[in-house]
Structure formats: C-alpha cells, structure tokens
C-alpha cells in the first residue's frame, strides 16, 4: 500500500520503529483517518488570508487558571505536556499577577531612572527603542513552580499543574547596564529597586552586580510587543532568577545603597528552614527537568516504541546533561539534547524507549554546567524540610500502569 511505502522511506521506518507490530493499534487507527482528511479537504477552496493569525480549530490546548479568591491575584499555567521545542507560544506563557493586568498606553508610559545616579533620566517607550538592543532566549519561572512537590505526590497531578509556572521566550530589550551608564552610577550605589505600574506597585531590590551583568528592560517577546500579561509595554527580565523579581509594567529603577526589604522579599519569597530561620534572597533557580511526553494524563497505546521528550533548565547557566530513568530511578542513561543549548533557557531532551507493557516509572534529572544535580524529593526535604513554598526542584516521576495510564509519583 502507498501508506506503507511512504512510511518505509522515513529513517524511523527503515529502522523498524514504526512497524505495526511495535506501534500496536495506533498504526491501524491513524491510516484511515488521514485518508478521510485528504478526501474532505482535497478539492474545495481553503480558507483565506488574514491580518493576525490563529491556530487550527482542531488545536485546543489552553493555559489552566489556578484558583484564587481574587481573580486579579491569580495565576495561569503553561500546558507543557502539549508543547514542542523550547519556545513557549506567547499566548500560552504562564501568568502570575498580584493585582491584575493594567491596561497601559505605551505613548503615555514612562520609565524613571533615579536615586544614586549622576543624572536622573526619564525614558518614553519610543526613546528606549532607539537605544542599543539585544535579543536573547530566557526562561521565566515562578519560584513557586513545583510547589506541589513539597507534599506527597497526588496521582492526578499532571505536568501543567506541577511545572506549568515556567515558560521560555525570545526577549528583546535594552541591557539595564546601558541605561545605568547613561544615567551615571554613583560609587555608593549597590542595589537597584525596581517598581511596577500595576495597582500593587510590585517592588523588588536587585543587587547592582546582576543589573550591570545581564538584566534587560524588555519590550519584545517572540518577535512582537510583549503581551499585556507579560508586562506590556516594558518589563524587567532577570535571567535565571525567580520570576517574581522580573518586574512587569516596569516604571521605575532607583539606585540605592541597601536592599529595601519589600513585602516580596520578607513576607513572601523566603524559604522557611527546619531550624525556623528563613532563607532570603534565594534568587537563582536550581537545575530542573520534567518529562513532558509521556506525562500525567497521557495514555500509552500498548507496548512498543515511544520517544520520551521533556524540558530541562537551570538558573546557573547551560544544561550540561539530562539523564533519564525508565526503571523508577534504579538506573540512569544520558538523553539527547536538542541544540543549540542556550544558557538560562529551556532545553529540549529526547530519549528513545521501547515499552514492554509492564508497570514502570519514568524520571529525568538535570545536571547543569555548574555541576548542580537535580535532587530526589527525599534528599531535598532532608536539607530543606517541608515548611517552604518556593524553590522545589525535586525529580519528577511518571508511573506507567499496565493499562498505559500515566500518573504522578515520587521518585
């Protein structure tokens, strides 16, 4: 049959991965539905052009809104289990707003740079766009991402619920160092206080060293203007650090000589340790990974070949290596990394696997270029206790049942 010939021309087909025997019932199901699609669409005129694109009507994956008493203080989660590659579509970038999304006219918006500088400056968005810019791929991850892992695993938790507070985009903006040099940094300045224009005036203190290193005032996201949910028209983008410090709807950068102990760095975003002390200014996101396919809520369609795929990232630089276990963490093998592997960005890993139909657990662990190894939940809790809400980077397990169901499990 034509279908068989086509398939045997692909590399995978020649290597026998997609033989009906290994694919199980999937091959028999896929072929007829493909032909029906050709008959239906083949001879009639298709849809027309349009000013702003939309995805296929057959695609339905969505952000999932995390419940909150106040809609404006809510968050939504990226459907990691449905994504390919490394870039998160802007429309699916997770959201975390403490006081809702302000509706800002870029023509009215201003960024003030003041405090311990020689020349306080005010920039319009147009003026910022005249400044030397860079484009970089970075993840943004809420430090609360993975917080469900402080509690024992619930079987129904999927990748979106457990890890959907990370997203990765191509950001364009002006390095903060360029703006601060323009203003003239006074020698007594050691911190930068960044403030948002939303109703809560979200404010964080940023060490000046980091500000002069790689922080951006970003106005572009995946080729177009930053989405309102991500901070339109301007956001701070602090690569590799907890999402909370990347102030959206940015309106002020003030240089000061000490951290300002704001709400977000005292009452919130600190980690309570077993001895009752709280870790503070835990900025850097630790190395992390999650298998996204197959993952919670998926169902394997019988024994055979499945390519395992997932995402890894670290706030300490590049992902050096990802290891995958298909036996619940007893043995680990190296996964392939999709290049180019960019620092402080999501990295796609893949691992070829043949399921023999027996019950097992899949897991992945990330090792970053600093040598930081993603820990098991037990070893993380041995150091950090369970009173923390933030910064949990424990290894994620997915239990494959004999019936092909995939469930959340601790490894």
Ligand X SMILES: Nc1nc2c(c(=O)[nH]1)N[C@H]1C(S)=C(S)[C@@H](COP(=O)(O)O)O[C@H]1N2
Residues of this chain that interact with ligand X (CB under 6 A) are 93-98, 140, 142, 167, 196, 198, 202, 229-230, 243-244, 246-249
Residue 134 CA to residue 350 CA, distance in Å, equals 30
Residue 93 CA to residue 166 CA, distance in Å, equals 8
Q: How far is the CB of 252 from Mo ion (least distance, A)?
A: 20
State which residue, 167 or 320, has the beta carbon closest to ligand X: 167
Q: How far is the CB of 275 from ligand X (least distance, A)?
A: 27
Question: Considering the rule CB under 5 A, would residue 294 count as an interface residue with Mo ion?
Answer: no
Kindly report the number of other CB atoms within 10 A of residue 263's CB atom: 13
Binding partner of residue 98 among ligand X, Mo ion, none, CB cut-off 5 to 8 Å per kind: ligand X
Judged by CB under 5 A, the residue of 27, 142, 168, 342 near Mo ion is 142
Question: Considering the rule CB under 5 A, would residue 244 count as an interface residue with Mo ion?
Answer: yes
| Cβ-contact 288, 313 below 8 angstroms | yes
- Find the helix or strand (DSSP H, E) in which 34 lies: helix 25-41
Q: How far is the CB of 209 from ligand X (least distance, A)?
A: 21
Binding partner of residue 111 among ligand X, Mo ion, none, CB cut-off 5 to 8 Å per kind: none
Q: How far is the CB of 143 from Mo ion (least distance, A)?
A: 6
Stretch that binds Mo ion, among 142-150, 221-229, 307-315, 342-350 (CB under 5 A): 142-150
Residue 178 CA to residue 111 CA, distance in Å, equals 14
Binding partner of residue 377 among ligand X, Mo ion, none, CB cut-off 5 to 8 Å per kind: none
State which residue, 157 or 244, has the beta carbon closest to Mo ion: 244
State which residue, 198 or 271, has the beta carbon closest to ligand X: 198
Residue nearest to ligand X (CB): 196
State which residue, 230 or 364, has the beta carbon closest to Mo ion: 230
Binding partner of residue 76 among ligand X, Mo ion, none, CB cut-off 5 to 8 Å per kind: none
Q: How far is the CB of 115 from ligand X (least distance, A)?
A: 19
Q: What is the DSSP letter of 148?
A: G
Q: How far is the CB of 373 from ligand X (least distance, A)?
A: 25
Binding partner of residue 249 among ligand X, Mo ion, none, CB cut-off 5 to 8 Å per kind: ligand X
Collapsing DSSP to helix, strand or coil, 61 comes out as: coil
Kindly report the number of other CB atoms within 10 A of residue 337's CB atom: 17
Question: Considering the rule CB under 5 A, would residue 243 count as an interface residue with Mo ion?
Answer: yes
Binding partner of residue 149 among ligand X, Mo ion, none, CB cut-off 5 to 8 Å per kind: none
| Cβ-contact 286, 271 below 8 angstroms | no
Residue 16, phi-psi category: left (phi > 0), alpha (psi -120 to 50), beta (remainder): left
State which residue, 244 or 326, has the beta carbon closest to ligand X: 244
State which residue, 66 or 318, has the beta carbon closest to ligand X: 66
Collapsing DSSP to helix, strand or coil, 378 comes out as: helix
State which residue, 218 or 411, has the beta carbon closest to ligand X: 218
Residue 65, phi-psi category: left (phi > 0), alpha (psi -120 to 50), beta (remainder): beta
What is the contact surface with Mo ion in residues (CB under 5 A)? 96, 142, 243-244
């Amino acid at each position: 049959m034509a279908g068989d010939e086509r398939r045997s021309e692909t590399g995978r087909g020649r290597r026998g991965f997609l033989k009906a025997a290994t694919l199980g019932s999937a091959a028999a199901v896929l072929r007829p539905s493909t032909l029906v699609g050709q008959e239906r669409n083949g001879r009639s005129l298709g849809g027309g052009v349009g000013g702003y694109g939309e995805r296929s009507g057959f695609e339905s994956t969505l952000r999932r809104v995390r419940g909150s008493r106040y809609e404006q203080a809510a968050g939504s989660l990226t459907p990691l289990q449905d994504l390919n590659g490394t870039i998160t579509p802007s429309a699916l970038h997770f959201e975390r707003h403490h006081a809702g999304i302000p509706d800002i006219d870029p023509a009215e918006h201003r960024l003030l740079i003041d405090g311990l500088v020689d020349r306080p400056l005010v920039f319009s968005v147009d003026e910022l766009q005249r400044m030397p810019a860079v484009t970089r791929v970075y993840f943004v991850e809420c430090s609360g991402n993975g917080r469900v892992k402080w509690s024992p695993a619930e079987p129904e938790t999927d990748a979106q619920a457990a890890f959907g507070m990370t997203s990765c985009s191509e950001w364009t903006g002006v390095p903060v160092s360029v703006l601060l040099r323009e203003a003239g940094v006074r020698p007594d300045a050691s911190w930068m206080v960044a403030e948002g224009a939303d109703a809560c005036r979200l404010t964080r203190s940023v060490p000046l060293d980091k500000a002069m290193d790689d922080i951006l005032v970003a106005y572009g996201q995946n080729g177009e203007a930053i989405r309102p949910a991500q901070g339109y028209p301007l956001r701070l983008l602090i690569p590799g650090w907890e999402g909370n410090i990347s102030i959206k709807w940015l309106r002020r950068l003030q240089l000061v000589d000490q951290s300002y102990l704001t709400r977000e760095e005292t009452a919130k975003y600190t980690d309570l340790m077993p001895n009752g002390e709280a870790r503070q200014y835990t900025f850097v996101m630790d190395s992390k990974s999650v298998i996204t396919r197959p993952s919670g809520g998926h169902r394997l369609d019988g024994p055979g070949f499945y390519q395992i795929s997932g995402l890894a990232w670290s706030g300490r630089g590049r992902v050096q290596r990802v290891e995958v276990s298909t036996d619940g963490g007893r043995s680990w093998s190296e996964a392939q990394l999709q290049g180019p592997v960019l620092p402080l960005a999501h990295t796609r890993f893949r691992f070829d696997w043949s399921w023999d139909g027996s019950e097992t657990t899949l897991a992945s662990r990330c090792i970053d270029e600093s040598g930081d190894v993603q820990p098991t939940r037990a070893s993380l809790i041995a150091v950090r206790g369970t009173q923390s809400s933030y910064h949990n980077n424990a290894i994620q397990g997915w239990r494959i049942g004999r019936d092909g169901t995939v469930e959340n499990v601790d490894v």
